[in-house]
A and B are shown apart, each in its own frame.
Chain A
Amino acid sequence: MKITREEVERVAHLARLNLTEKEKEQMTRDMEAIIGFADQINSCDIHDVKPTAHIIPINNVFREDVVVASMDREQLLENAPNQEQGCFSVPQVVE
């Protein structure tokens, strides 16, 4: 399957990745190989195979609706890139 440079650029943008020209070239070849490998699955006869929602045959893993204590805010914010007024502080979002 042919992968175009534009497709690589689009996927990179969706994943918020900045690729150099060289990386884009490399990625085009890599993705083509990966998609080609996965493409083999299209040759399988699956007309009587149900779509797989999950590979483990377990359903209905539910939790009781009972409140447990939340995490201490100091501790929670330890992993924040930046913090201000008890909030996670992130680069400004354009509206």
Chain B
Amino acid sequence: MAYQDYEIVIGLEVHSELKTHTKIFCGCTTAFGGDPNTHCCPICTGMPGTLPVLNGKVVEYAIRAGLATNCKINQFSKQDRKNYFYPDLPKAYQVSQYDLPLCYEGAVDIELGDGVKTIGITRIHIEEDAGKLLHGSGEGTLVDYNRCGVPLIEIVTEPDLRSPEEVRIFMEKLRTILLYSDVSDCRMNEGSLRCDVNLSVRKKGAKEFGTRTEMKNINSFNFATKAAEYEAKRQIKVLEEGGTIIQETRRWDEERGMTVSMRSKEEAHDYRYFPEPDLMPIVTTDGTLETIRKSLPEMPDARKSRYLEKYQLTAYDADLIVASRNMADFFETAAVASKNPKLVANWIISEVFSRLNEDQKEEGAIPFGPDMLAKLVNLIEGGTISNSIGKKVFAILWDTGKDPETIVREEGLTQISDDSALRAMALEVIAGNPKPVADYQGGKEAAIQSLVGQMMKRTKGKANPKMVLDLLKELLAGQR
């Protein structure tokens, strides 16, 4: 199969649940879970005669997300009805936005191996989530409307993504941005971040897009990547065998590892949008916009370039740190309090990440403050303890939360930098190890490492390895 002769074209529609306390049009809680239909009222179950009132926070959060993704804001915006029959939607229409979405024409930069690529954001609009369908005991379908009316933003990208890998990188970046802007929890297991993948393929160099298929409601980055991989191969195979792609909605079947055609939804796409008569237009003044803009924290891209410049971190290290706002905040506070910010970054990337990983904790769960890590780094930087003793101190710090200076004192871990004591010990080591000494003297340079090892063992790791090496070299040179 001539897979490499084709170009894959992907656009995403990402749905993100906003972290409001209440639903978009009523005061029912948005808390996850709860017994079926216990977070409901006549408004969110679409009873006749009820009137919706928009939650002001929804507008604020959507604008925050828009500004964080470099969107323009429609200062005059309105809501529209999207009509379709499905029992998860009790009104038989979803309140969404059609021609005047709150945000439009944004851009998100993603980091690829060979440079930065800009992914266009077509629009971001607000809408209500639907209920959940469950299987009943008999023929019927059961509906739980707890999720119905939970506010969502839908983020629509341009068809700028060119591989499943780019989908994964973009989704991770978008998640980071949404977390930084504090508009969504982005908990994928609770469905608060999910996406529809629109994918087509075309021969390389072709100008026209191919016919696309849409894969709906994918709730993990991993599934999105796998679905895109499978679907691209499937479409290429169909075309290579002389077939045509049918425009349709497909579903990712994780168990079978394939996409499966759902009922052709051609006619269902006739949503007959019209302006929502029960809700008033949304006007955002310059003043409000400015207030929201000022309340946004520094975004990951800006932080990253600052870290590269100010702290000389590598792009790779900076990416790892800014991926989580909690971690970036932790790093920055520690960096400021320390004598060596780059060393702080190294400790976070090696030790902190692996401990969090081991304990299966999230980024915010470091059991001590950033000032403690700064102290630890300063002890190493100042020569009080070696790097390997540092790891020992780190382990105790993690388990007890004790001040590293206290740990070093209590455990007697201060590095031996008394030259005469080391000198005496070095002479003993040289005398007691004639074989490596002879090897070294005979030109086998590496043999000296075993002597260094002996010294470290005798000092229980408290000697400065560099100092020991220099000392041994000096003494051995004298004995030659």
Q: Are A54 and B28 in contact (CB under 8 A)?
A: no
Kindly state the interface size class of chain B when it binds its partner: 35 or more
Q: Are A54 and B87 in contact (CB under 8 A)?
A: no
Q: Are A70 and B40 in contact (CB under 8 A)?
A: yes
Query: Which chain A residues (60-92) contact chain B, with CB distance < 8 Å?
Result: 60-68, 70-71, 73, 76-77, 79, 82, 84-92
How far apart sit A89 and B143, CA to CA, in the bound complex (Å)? 6
Number of interface residues of A (CB under 8 A): 37
Q: B42 at interface (Cβ–Cβ under 8 A)?
A: yes
Q: Are B134 and A76 in contact (CB under 8 A)?
A: no
Residues from chain B with a CB closer than 8 A to the CB of A13 are: 267
Shortest distance in angstroms between B216's beta carbon and chain A's nearest beta carbon? 12
Residues from chain A with a CB closer than 8 A to the CB of B133 are: 93
**Which of the candidate stretches B272-280, B297-305, B369-377 sits at the interface with the other chain?**
B272-280
Task: Name the one of A60, A89, A91 contacting B280, with C-beta atoms under 8 angstroms.
Answer: A60
Residues from chain B with a CB closer than 8 A to the CB of A49 are: none
Residues from chain B with a CB closer than 8 A to the CB of A86 are: 35-38, 144
Q: Are A60 and B283 in contact (CB under 8 A)?
A: yes
Q: A-side binding surface: helix, strand, loop or mixed?
A: loop
Residues from chain B with a CB closer than 8 A to the CB of A82 are: 140
How far apart sit A71 and B44, CA to CA, in the bound complex (Å)? 11
Q: Are A63 and B136 in contact (CB under 8 A)?
A: no
Residues from chain B with a CB closer than 8 A to the CB of A93 are: 86-87, 133, 141
Contact with A along B242-270 (1 / 0, CB 8 A): 00000000000000000000110001001
Query: Which chain B residues (117-158) contact chain A, with CB distance < 8 Å?
Result: 133-134, 136-137, 139-145
Q: A1 at interface (Cβ–Cβ under 8 A)?
A: no
Q: Which residue of A lies closest to B27 (CB)?
A: A68
Task: Name the one of A14, A54, A76, A85 contacting B78, with C-beta atoms under 8 angstroms.
Answer: A54
Shortest distance in angstroms between A61's beta carbon and chain B's nearest beta carbon? 5
